[in-house]
Amino acid sequence: MTPEDVKQAVRELPASTDYVWDGQDEDDRPATAEELQAALAAARRRRGRPAGSGTKEQVALRVDRDVLAAFRAGGPGWQTRMNDALRDWLRTHPQK
């Protein structure tokens, strides 16, 4: 069924079947135009993983299991902490 078919089917519904809110249950209240626009804007937003900063590069790196386990044991953000540890090492070990 195409969107046009749905629109046509809705147009053909008799006016007597229109929804009328009884004013009692707030959960049954029809959405306002502003609420509908906000919902549409939220639906249009990109889904999935947020875009990266563009400054990182993905690499395959072999790390000892105990080192990896220690960083992962710290919970979420372990990759950032590992990156910070490597950056700190670079500061204390000047390049030749």
What digits encode the pLDDT tens for the residues 51-72?
Answer: 777 888 889 999 999 999 999 9
* pLDDT over 90 (residue 89): yes
How distant, in Å, are the alpha carbons of 45, 46, 52, 82, 83 from that of 49? 12, 9, 9, 21, 20
What is the reported pTM? 0.47
CA angle 40, 52, 94 (to 5 degrees): 165
